[in-house]
Amino acid sequence: MCFPRKVTYMNKINVTHSCGNYNIYVGENILADALADVFEDKKYDRIFLVTDSNVNELWSEHFISELAKCAKELAGRFVFPAGETSKTLETVSDMYAAFAGAKLTRGSLVIALGGGVCGDMTGFAAATYLRGVDVMQVPTTLLSQIDSSIGGKTGVDLAVGKNLVGAFHQPIAVIADSRFLETLPQRYIDDGMGEAIKYGCIADAELFDGIADRSISRADMVYRCMKIKAHVVEVDEFESGLRMILNYGHTLGHAVEKLGGFTRFSHGESVGIGMLYAARIGAALGYDKSIEARIRASLEAWSLPTVMDYKKDELLAVVGADKKRRANEISFVLLDELGKATVKKLPLEAIGELI
């Protein structure tokens, strides 16, 4: 039995997938009520928490106390060093050992409390431990709330590239409580705006304009981004068609991120730069020539970088290892117009020439 508490507001978005459906809970101060809703219908023999060193210090005790209001307690907790450099198979191996130590079964639940690194890696560990245990996503960054926590894509990095090992593993729920953003450094609020701008680019020109002139409220922006993501992943769960548009800016963005050692440019910053290059390539191929300038202005409005100094050959070496590559071609996302994306297969050498 869970005890009610005051909720400022809570929206629910239902996502249907091949094995069922789940709810995305989005709002302010909603954690206890969202947990109550989840556990009303789902029973688990053990609950295990995964988080990073930063989030553990800031939010783990709050999360545990809210969980206790549902008469639930943890069977164990795994804390890894914060940062993209922890997103490795070695960390996942340590996670498996912690799962085993806590005696998790296929009737257990793993909860990812953190940003995109935590959600991606925990989702992958849950997908592969005992050939699959349930996972709940509790994203604590703007970027993970509007993007990576939704849709079931999980993964870890290899030395040659980002997210090259992974699995599709849908969560049983996503709880996006804006209270977690209170402790987020401003750089990572701005970082999340890189993905938000992407959603405007690919699916909602009005959203793009509201972000560019800073007239949209954060609550409305988060909800609209999540609705877009939920719709896309419902239509194309396994990224065989429409879901590819979510990679706008990511092909070159991932290269920028990796060449900077995952520290010089954050993910959202890298995607922003990648979108500029995608717009430049689009213009060279005959698409709308005004898009690059509009994206640049939006990025600058949110203090996001618009330049980098990596050489073409360096970028192409990383792009060549991209998981979207088939033979010598990359499925590259372009914009027919702002708010409408398309996917075009481009030879690697053509990308090099166009940038």
CATH number at residue 59: 3.40.50.1970
pLDDT the model gives residue 326: 73
Q: Rounded to an integer, what distance in angstroms lies between the CA atom of residue 332 and that of residue 231?
A: 21
The residue segments making up the domain with residue 119 are 9-183
Which band of pLDDT confidence, cut at 50, 70 and 90, is reported for residue 23? very high
- Domain of residue 292, CATH code: 1.20.1090.10
pLDDT tens digits, one per residue of 183-228: 999 988 988 999 999 999 999 999 999 999 999 988 899 999 999 9
Q: Predicted confidence band at 5 (pLDDT cuts at 50, 70, 90)?
A: very low
Same domain, 191 and 58: no
Q: What is the mean pLDDT of the chain?
A: 93
Total domains present in the chain: 2
What's the CA gap between 242 and 52, in Å, rounded?
Answer: 32
User: What pLDDT sits at residue 187?
Assistant: 87
2 in any annotated domain: no
Q: Are 325 and 349 within one domain?
A: yes
Residue 240: the pLDDT is 86
Kindly state whether residues 202 and 66 are assigned to the same domain. Answer: no
Q: Are residues 218 and 299 in the same domain?
A: yes
Identify whether 196 is part of a domain: yes
1 inside domain: no
Which of 183, 199, 227 is at the close of a domain?
183
φ, ψ of residue 7 in degrees (nearest 5): -115, 130
